[in-house]
Amino acid sequence: MHHQAALKHCQGLAQPGPALPEESKKVLGFWDGDQLVAIADLLRGYPHEHTASIGLLQVHGLRQGHGTGAAAYRELQRYVEREWLEVRTLRLAVVDTNAQQAQGFWVRQGFEATGEVKPYKHDTVESVARLYEKQLGRTQPQA
């Protein structure tokens, strides 16, 4: 993949989430040729109009540790900056049970902890989710 990801929209994969219109939910697939190497789930306008939340960025196990996640994230950010012009902030949660792997990755992508903590429960896992944000730096059009 050489640290690039081809971005494609994955229709029909969006999971139920907050009460937002269906067009606010986007699932992106990142491809290397004909192989899906990563997938991301985004919510536009959540929890605020100028924020997009990353619900998931999952990289194929054999591609982890080789720059695929960072390349997929860069494509995700470019997508948001190009398509969702009102979005100024990207937001995500890192669950403590996954923090050893995920926290460093997101900090390297420019995210900072907000200090906000929420309880997390999924199936039998009970933990804490710590929120992170990144301000998008858009350049102003030249006159």
Contact predicate 56/39, CB 8 Å: yes
pLDDT tens track for 47-94: 999 999 999 998 887 778 778 899 999 999 999 999 999 999 999 999
Give the pLDDT of residue 66: 78
Q: From residue 97, how far is each of 2, 26, 104, 121 by CA, in Å? A: 30, 25, 14, 11
Name residue 132's amino acid: Y
Q: pTM for the full model?
A: 0.80
